[in-house]
Amino acid sequence: MLRTALALSALTGRSFKFENIRARRDKPGLAPQHLTGVKGVAEICHAVVEGDKVGSTSLRFEPGTVEPGDFRFDVGTAGSITLVLQACMLACARTRARTEFDILGGTNVRMSPPSDYLEHILFPFLRTMGYEIDVRVPARGFYPQGGGEMIVGVARGEHILPLDLENRGRFVGINGVCFTQKLPDHIAERMASTAQKTLVGHAPVKLFMDRRQGHSIGAGIFLSAEYENTLLAGDALGEQGISSEKLGELAAVALLREMDSAGTLDVHNADQILPYLALAAGPSTFLVSELSMHFQTQVEIIRKFIDFRIDVKAVGNAFRVSVTPSHT
């Protein structure tokens, strides 16, 4: 809610006030990752902000004018880089000049999209919509040490193009990366072996080994199914007590779950790309296996800043979603 509100406030020039931020959490209020997003968007649009401190449960945000440039933000912990990027990139969604974000923190952390997801799933769709995006991940960052870095440059084309995802098209294959940092090489190989076995019958499957020696310790696997018209994803992040083999299995099963549905966007992409579809130059259509709480929340937050129409219809084991911006 906060990330989308920040970005759309910057885009539309509409102020907002948030109360009871994370009020039911053990540690209520803004965490460092949320605060980095607030300060990042505020810097991008020269906003006046009240309540921008760790632990604050209230925030007032009065945006100025969005200006492109080169920005560097440090979460200061293993907090999610990608969640900060979600807010900052969307704030610049209407900006044609190139803007670069260099963000330090966690690239692969629980309860947030991994950097691999943005690089291999979300960004390809945004390029289809007319954005020019380049990305580098010089270092991975895992909980609790962090130390990751992601550098993303983005510029908008002449128009924000809609997406027509009525069907997946021909199946092309499965790609993936098994990544480790400061861990033995065999961990990545074991993840890959189990994933390959679980995905048998869905050839070709091409897995890349990404072994690094960085600041923090961690491992995981990211998989994507490529179709003629779309991409679907599944992933798993290492944690204590979960074997390499189990990680490979979990990621493969998550991917197969999406592949077995009729979705043309996976459940995570549906909510992440929705604000861009609401800004597009025409109506968009996609299918998704379920309407997550994140998706439903996105719809309500976007409506507070942008006029658009959304129509949802159950189709077999999926939902057909049509998004029509008010200016089309």
Catalytic residue positions, numbered = 294
Asked if 9 and 305 touch (Cβ cutoff 8 Å), the reply is: yes
The three-state secondary structure class of 204 is coil
Name the strands in the sheet holding 16-18, side by side, starting at the edge strand that comes first in the sequence: 16-18, 59-62, 48-50
In angstroms, the Cα distances linking 74 to 32, 34, 35, 39, 107 are: 9, 12, 10, 10, 12
Find the helix or strand (DSSP H, E) in which 297 lies: helix 293-303
Beta strands 131-139; 308-315: pairing state: unpaired
What token pair was written down for 67?
Answer: 């200006």
Q: Which residues contact 303 (CB under 8 A, 6 or more apart)?
A: none
- Pairing label, strands 148-156, 131-139: antiparallel
Cβ atoms of 144 and 239 within 8 Å: the answer is no
